[in-house]
């Protein structure tokens, strides 16, 4: 482990694959939508590989249908997922300790998941009140990897980019943080293997959230 860094003045977290393991519930909802349109179920890893770019992308990629049916498939998925979003979803080991570690600083979630479902997940896991701001993929005009959501958080928190920290599990997180000038910690618990994350050159790559307790002691 490299030398301890000064604690950031504010922290931005991704949600799926970073704070919570939600892949089983996402896959179940996606497969219910596939079944609705007479498509066979996909294995968890096939769905997991497509998570992170937003629900529209997920459904478009994994429920291939004619354009006339695409919106119906998306709405079916969103309704199905919202209903059962907390059946298997759990907070990752170390996440609560990390949130407590950074308590007193402004904390935010920036996810590409629709805001209403992100709220349901965070409230259901007793995490909602820990964050000063939560942005979903539909909160602003653009989503990650565009830096707009990260810059929006920085502006609302009056936080210099260099004194913030972004923690995420995907290429979109790294690219959004880099474009916004924010230091980035990429965690391998989510959608991308270590080699893919390292190729994006984040500030650090870690295998478990609790490594942050030492890295930013």
Cβ proximity of 85 and 124 under 8 Å:
yes
For 52-92, write each residue's pLDDT tens digit: 999 999 999 999 999 999 999 999 999 999 999 999 999 99
Residue 27 host element (H or E):
helix 23-36
Query: Distance between CA atoms of 188 and 53, rounded to whole angstroms?
Result: 17
Question: Which pLDDT belongs to residue 4?
Answer: 67
If you average pLDDT over every residue of the chain, what do you get? 96
Catalytic residue numbers, as ranges: 14
* pTM of the predicted model as reported, rounded to 2 decimal places: 0.95
The tens digit of pLDDT for each residue in 108-117 reads: 999 999 999 9
Cα–Cα distance between 55 and 77 in angstroms, integer? 8
Domain ranges of the chain: 10-21+89-215, 23-83
**How many whole angstroms separate alpha carbon 107 and alpha carbon 83?**
27
Q: Where are the alpha helices (DSSP H) in 52-147?
A: 55-62, 67-83, 95-101, 115-124
Supply the Cα-derived Rg of the chain in whole angstroms.
17
In terms of Cα–Cα distance, which of 165, 132, 195 is closest to 11? 165
State pLDDT tens for residues 89-100.
999 999 999 999
Q: Any residues with CB less than 8 A from the CB of 113 and at least 6 apart, and which?
A: 15, 16, 54, 55, 121, 136, 137
Q: How does strand 90-91 pair with strand 20-21?
A: antiparallel
Architecture of domain 10-21+89-215: 3-Layer(aba) Sandwich (3.40)
């Amino acid at each position: 482990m490299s030398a301890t860094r000064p604690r950031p003045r504010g922290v931005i977290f991704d949600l799926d694959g970073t704070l919570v393991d939600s892949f089983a519930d996402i896959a179940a909802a996606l497969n219910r939508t596939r079944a609705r349109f007479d498509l066979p179920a996909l294995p968890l890893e096939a769905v997991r590989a497509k998570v992170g770019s937003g629900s529209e992308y997920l459904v478009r990629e994994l429920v291939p249908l004619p354009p006339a049916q695409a919106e119906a498939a998306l709405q079916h998925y969103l309704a199905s997922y919202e209903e059962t979003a907390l059946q298997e979803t759990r907070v990752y080991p170390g996440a609560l300790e990390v949130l407590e570690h950074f308590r007193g600083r402004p904390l935010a979630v920036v996810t590409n998941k629709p805001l209403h479902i992100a709220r349901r997940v965070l409230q259901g896991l007793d995490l909602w009140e820990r964050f000063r701001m939560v942005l979903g993929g539909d909160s602003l005009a653009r989503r990650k990897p565009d830096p707009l959501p990260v810059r929006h958080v920085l502006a609302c928190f009056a936080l210099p980019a260099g004194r913030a920290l972004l923690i995420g599990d995907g290429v979109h997180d790294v690219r959004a943080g880099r474009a916004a000038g924010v230091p980035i910690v990429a965690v391998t618990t989510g959608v991308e293997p270590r080699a893919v994350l390292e190729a994006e050159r984040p500030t650090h790559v870690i295998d478990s959230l609790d490594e942050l307790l030492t890295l930013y002691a």
